[in-house]
Amino acid sequence: MSAIPLEALPIDELRQRSSTKWRRYPADVLPLFVAETDFALAPAISRALVRAVERGDTGYTPPEPGIRDAFVGFAQRRYGWSVEPAGVRWTCDVIMGVVELLRVVTKPGDRVIVTPPVYPPFYDTVVEAGAVVEKVPLLHGDAGWPLDLPGIEAALAAGARCVLLCNPHNPTGTVHSQASLAALADLAEAFGAAVISDEIHAPLVQSTVTFTPFLKASAAAARVGYIVTSASKAFNTAGLKCALMVASDPATIGVVQALPAEVEWRTGLFGAMAAVASFSPESDEWLDSLLARLDENARLLADLLAEHVPEAKYEIPDAGFLAWVDLSALGWGVNPAERILHEARVALNAGPDFGEQGSGHVRINFGCSPDVLRDAIERIGVMTRS
């Protein structure tokens, strides 16, 4: 039996939220930019947080908040992946986890490969860790957005020491194949480099797509890799602050275990509670309903663009609620999001923020109601006819 698509909250109720999505712009703007979604929390999360508030449970995160066991169970159920419990630790958020790992696996001045167009904080993260960004863009063609393995090999051969992977990829929604990930692992091992895989969007992979956690891709991947992930994107709990760092090999597990205790102390107590509730079997039905809604919205967006903005180029993503849309044919310049905000009162992410490959592109958050999505694209469509 297929899941019933989750319904978004009414927009009047959403406008009472105090998060970035609903406070950055005036009330006449439809916010489809930052990666927050418009749904009520999974009931298990709400219950955990309400109980905590009622009993004043707002102190420090304990040494064993239950995150490890919850994630191990989730990974087994959802990905068929047997996680080594000793290799799991937690911290404030994914980017902080990436920075801490980069500081261990690179030296100041080392080059770190990123694969644009990619999540904008990746660039600053590498710099924060004292390293240097080496760009090897994704390829693009009939096969979607695969990794440029020859380009990555050349960069590693020239001395790059780490690959900062995004899988599923943000903003394209690409889920890299097991074969591609295994090939990447072989290259990294051959050149003595590490791979850090940001898998925050992994819980949002559609059921028709096979997702392979990087550490599960091959024995070499387990030896060279680290995963940083969180429940925060799928379950909309970014403000609660909790992410996980995962390793599989004895050597990499040793690296994760050797991180300072302060790295775990940064985890929010409510974030830990929410993560345990998110990863529990109790939240699986909610997540399946969310995935059903996102699948419908991704296809609705394709239909809406075809009807109202036929010049747009858009490929339905493998995962997530973010759409990477090429508006170059409209002639709206390098950053069409700026014009769309001004004329249509729709806030989208600016393509150039993701790298030079984002020129003429926008990122659209479709983690909303069909009505909001329809209104947004119709507004943009009016611009094309004016």
Of the chain, the percentage scoring pLDDT greater than 90 comes to 98
Long-range Cβ contact pairs of 151-159 (< 8 A, separation 24 or more): 152/113, 152/115, 152/184, 152/187, 153/187, 155/111, 155/113, 156/113, 156/187, 156/188, 156/190, 156/191, 156/193, 157/191, 159/111
- Is the pLDDT assigned to residue 2 strictly greater than 80? yes
How far is the C-alpha of 235 from the C-alpha of 182, rounded, in Å?
Answer: 29
pLDDT, position 1: 60
Q: Where are the beta strands (DSSP E) in the chain?
A: 30-31, 88-91, 111-114, 132-135, 162-166, 194-198, 225-229, 243-246, 313-314, 322-326, 346-347, 349-350, 361-365
**Could you report the per-residue pLDDT of 331-355, keeping only the tens digit for each?**
999 999 999 999 999 999 999 999 9
Which has more confidence, 386 or 299? 299
The one-character DSSP state at 315 is -
pLDDT, position 385: 87
Of the chain, the percentage scoring pLDDT greater than 70 comes to 100
Q: What band does 135 get if pLDDT is binned at 50, 70 and 90? A: very high
How far is the C-alpha of 329 from the C-alpha of 111, rounded, in Å?
Answer: 35
Q: What band does 317 get if pLDDT is binned at 50, 70 and 90? A: very high
Query: What residues pair up with 361 in beta bridges, in sequence order?
Result: 326
**Could you report the per-residue pLDDT of 323-336, keeping only the tens digit for each?**
999 999 999 999 99
